Amino acid sequence: MVNKAFEDFLKEIVGDTVFESFKMKETEDWLYMALQFESKKREIEIKSPRYITLRLPFSLIDLCEKVNGIQIQDAVAASKYAEIIEIVGDKLKLSKVFFFYMFGQTLQRTVDHVKSLFREKNIKEVGIILMIGGFSESRLLQQALKEAFPNKEIVVPLNPSSCVLRGALIYGHTPLTINSRILKYTYGTESNTKFKEGYLPDQKKMNSDAGIRCKDIFAIFVGKNTVVKAKDTYFKKQFTTLRKYQKAMSIRCFLSEKTNPRYVNEDGCLKIGKIRINLDNPDESLDRTVSVYMVFGDTEITVDAEDERTGNKTRAVIDFLG
């Protein structure tokens, strides 16, 4: 969000057309400017000098003059930032106050998010906050977390920007380094239940050989914030056929941001996969059972379906990339 705020600031000064053209045609200069900003973003703190200086690429200065017909200094003077930024030659001098303004919303959202995490019963007693990733090098972010969580220990390792990469390498060689996870979402499948007049909305009503059913039900396999261990955590549910001579059963898998979602098409729900199992030798019975297993604890979620009558099995892997 801080980077976007910086881009939005540049757009207000030179205009959308100039900025987008600069990014597309002078990509090397844009990347140089973005890297400068990234460096200043990490270094700035309360005791920093009054002005933070960035070097403006001449390509941006020239493009602004050619397209807008005015010099970039005049564009700044005509903007709402006239009193807090200054351009001298190819130097862009940004007031420290302006930097704090760009950080404000991001810092508050980060603190609010961490506070919401500590309200979860599984981690409320955790006493250490480990900061990793490039933004963790920001001294303003570090200070904001220290002030918001005075009773927590804030740990910033050396080179926090490379910690994610190093962690991925370690995990790739020794997967059991991480022996458990806390699920971020609730996982389940689409299901149908007996329809109860007066208790369920009429638009969910559907007819089947098994009677009137309620469609789009979220059948929860495992809830949000559940701790799952590596390799051996699975959850099982059984489903029965709804039609006579049913030749197959398709099971759609969903996740939800809610702890107890009711329907698969409500806000916060997302379809993540589908598994289909063929039912050999179908007949008119309506009690043919398919057992569905969701297996957690690894880098992927696998879903297994088994026809209890024949023992036939099929498997799907949820990759979260499609």
Confidence of residue 130 (pLDDT cuts 50, 70, 90): very high
6 Cβ contact partners less than 8 Å away, ≥ 6 residues apart: 37, 102
Max intra-chain CA distance, the chain? 84
Q: Which residue type sits at 134?
A: G
Tokens 């090397």 sit on residue: 28
Q: What does the pLDDT read at residue 253?
A: 92
DSSP state of 263: B
Residues of the chain by 3-state class (helix, strand, coil), percent to 5: 35, 30, 35
Give residue-wise pLDDT tens across range 45-77: 777 778 888 888 899 888 888 888 888 888 888
Query: Would you give the distance in Å from CA 219 to the centre of its chain?
Result: 23
List the chain domain ranges: 2-99, 107-177, 182-318
SS3 209: coil
Q: Is 180:122 a contact under the CB 8 Å cutoff? A: no
User: What tokens does 161 get?
Assistant: 């920007």
Q: Is 214:202 a contact under the CB 8 Å cutoff? A: no
Please state, in angstroms and rounded to a whole number, the distance separating the CA atoms of residues 264 and 220.
10
Among 198, 194, 215, smallest CA distance to 206 is for 215
DSSP state of 118: H
Q: What does the pLDDT read at residue 112?
A: 93
Q: What is the dihedral of CA 181, 184, 190, 192, to 10 degrees?
A: 90
**More confident position, 81 or 151:** 151
* Mean pLDDT calculated for residue range 305-319: 87
Q: Is 309:246 a contact under the CB 8 Å cutoff? A: no
322 Cβ contact partners less than 8 Å away, ≥ 6 residues apart: none
Please state, in angstroms and rounded to a whole number, the distance separating the CA atoms of residues 72 and 57.
12
Please state, in angstroms and rounded to a whole number, the distance separating the CA atoms of residues 98 and 81.
9
* Mean pLDDT calculated for residue range 184-196: 88
Tokens 């020794």 sit on residue: 174
Give residue-wise pLDDT tens across range 259-296: 899 999 999 999 988 899 999 999 888 888 999 998 88
182-318 has which fold? Substrate Binding Domain Of DNAk; Chain A, domain 1 (2.60.34)
SS3 152: coil
Please state, in angstroms and rounded to a whole number, the distance separating the CA atoms of residues 129 and 156.
9
Give residue-wise pLDDT tens across range 231-266: 667 888 999 988 999 999 999 999 999 989 999 999
Q: Is 299:284 a contact under the CB 8 Å cutoff? A: no
Among 85, 175, 101, smallest CA distance to 140 is for 101
Please state, in angstroms and rounded to a whole number, the distance separating the CA atoms of residues 227 and 297.
9
Tokens 């996969």 sit on residue: 273
Confidence of residue 190 (pLDDT cuts 50, 70, 90): very high
Q: What is the DSSP string of 8-49?
A: HHHHHHH-HHHHHHHHHHSHHHHHHHHHHHHHHHHH--TTS-
